[in-house]
Amino acid sequence: MGNIMGWLGSDPRLTGGRGSVLHLSENLTLPFDRRVWMELNALKAAGYEVSAICPMGVGGTKAYEVLDGIHIWRYPEPPLASGALSYIWEFLFCWLHTARLTLMVLARRGFDVIHTANPPDTFWAIALPFKLFGKKFVFDHHDLCPELYLSRFGEQKAGSLPHRLLQWLERMQFATADIVISTNESYRQVALTRGHKRPDRVFVVRSGPSQKRFGVVREPSPELKRGKKFLVAYLGVMAPQDGVDHLVRAAKVLVQDLKRDDIAFTFIGAGDSFEDLRKLKTELGLDACCEFTGRVPDGDVERILATADVCVSPDPKNPLNDVSTMNKVLEYMACAKPVVAYDLREHRYSAGDGALYAEADVVEDLAAKIAQLLDDPALRASMGAYNRDRFLTQMAWEHNAGTLLKAYETLCGPPKTGA
């Protein structure tokens, strides 16, 4: 305990450096959480010492390792549980492991800043005691948890006890944060209004993929079309709020109602709704044209997207999706693909003129927009070129990393002389 208490003051090991950062996240293991991994590498390259705590994930990742100079501590996945109490159990399991490992990192490496990504909006409770000893807290706002709850369980749940609890946790997260990192301008407005943060303490750092990953656009692999003329692709999480069922139903409209036998559909990803979506595909008689790959390596993802004629973001309009930036749209753009999406505020900001926008939540219009693009090769080509240029010149991670470093200079000050 004496060693830990010594670390709560100034950090004598960090002489001449820019400081030490501890990142806490619960969604994905590292380095597979792309946004987090790009942020940590940007901080490391700028001279910060970087540590991270995250779950192990599926596949047996190590409990501790150093990757690219970043020290990663991982805790095991929570045991499987079912029913309403499973969410509480999973939260407590992960939170307690994160708190335990935070003390371990404090003793072994120390830190000046705790940087957390949500959900959940509970890491403020880990950071708060350390703030008493001068540590800083960065809230990296990835999801609107109150809106996420309503999007999954229905807007009729507004004002319920769980919804009010999530609102309180969000307020505490904002109140504890020294600075807030927002993923887009819509989230920044939440920080300024609901969070009551000062404008100079809220920074927009968008989640575009790196130009290094999408340095070139791959050549198509025609065999991935499975004998069809066209390929329509989806990439991303498959949870209730993601609307993948809308695309499955749009496939039915195209294949059965409009008698299109020239389209293959490939769904890349996994999530809570994965098995339900596969069952829906079978119930609708779409086994012959729809393939669900599950999670696949990056190389396979890029081959599929390079081959796709149209990529779709079927997120329905709700309080969460309307103001959230969808990473899949940015990856479609990086691969020079035209996009079909419902008409949501942040979809229009991301894709601009590189997408056709269907009337929100109208499956028939989603199908019509897909058909329009498939039948117009010139429009597909021009929209794909527009998206690739927009990605390279505005939306890639390299255009956002500087804002992250500016936020840290606001928090920690400029580099020390000689650092």
Q: What Å distances lie between residue 389 and 212, 289, 313, 343, 413, CA to CA?
A: 15, 32, 20, 22, 35
> Do 10 and 4 meet the contact criterion of CB atoms below 8 Å apart?
no
Tokens of 367: 């199908």
**Which range of residues forms the domain containing residue 282?**
222-394
Find where tokens 């490496």 sit: 109
Question: What's the whole-model pTM score?
Answer: 0.88
What is the rounded CA–CA span in Å between residue 234 and residue 231?
A: 10
151-155, 338-342, 376-380: the lowest-pLDDT one: 151-155
Q: How confident is the model at residue 15 (pLDDT cuts 50, 70, 90)?
A: very low
Strands (DSSP E) contained in 314-359 are: 339-342, 355-358
pLDDT higher than 50, residue 13: no
User: 160-194, pLDDT tens digit by residue?
Assistant: 999 999 999 999 999 999 999 999 999 999 999 99
**Stated length of the chain:** 419
Residues 194 and 237 in one domain: no
Total count of domains within the chain: 2
Residues 372 and 404 in one domain: no
Enclosing H/E stretch for 70: strand 70-75
What is the rounded CA–CA span in Å between residue 267 and residue 246?
A: 12
> Do 325 and 341 meet the contact criterion of CB atoms below 8 Å apart?
no
User: 201-219, pLDDT tens digit by residue?
Assistant: 999 999 899 998 888 889 9
What is the rounded CA–CA span in Å between residue 372 and residue 354?
A: 14
Instruction: Please indicate, yes or no, if residue 217 is contained in any of the structural domains.
Output: no
What is the rounded CA–CA span in Å between residue 77 and residue 230?
A: 40
User: 30-54, pLDDT tens digit by residue?
Assistant: 998 999 999 999 999 999 999 999 9
What is the rounded CA–CA span in Å between residue 230 and residue 201?
A: 47
pLDDT higher than 60, residue 12: no
Find where tokens 């066209």 sit: 230
Given this model, what pLDDT does residue 419 score?
45
Given this model, what pLDDT does residue 253 score?
98
Q: Is the dihedral of CA 58, 61, 62, 63 positive or negative?
A: negative
User: 281-294, pLDDT tens digit by residue?
Assistant: 999 999 999 999 99
User: 215-274, pLDDT tens digit by residue?
Assistant: 888 999 999 999 999 999 999 999 998 999 999 999 999 999 999 999 999 999 998 899
Instruction: Please indicate, yes or no, if residue 213 is contained in any of the structural domains.
Output: no
Residues 406 and 286 in one domain: no
Residues 93 and 128 in one domain: yes
CA angle centred on 157, ends 189 and 160, rounded to 5°: 90
Average pLDDT of the chain to the nearest whole number = 92
- List the CATH number of the domain containing 120: 3.40.50.2000
Cβ neighbours around 401 below 10 Å, total? 19
> Do 242 and 342 meet the contact criterion of CB atoms below 8 Å apart?
no
Residues 146 and 29 in one domain: yes
Q: How confident is the model at residue 16 (pLDDT cuts 50, 70, 90)?
A: very low
3-class secondary-structure state, position 357: strand
Percent above pLDDT 70 for the chain:
93
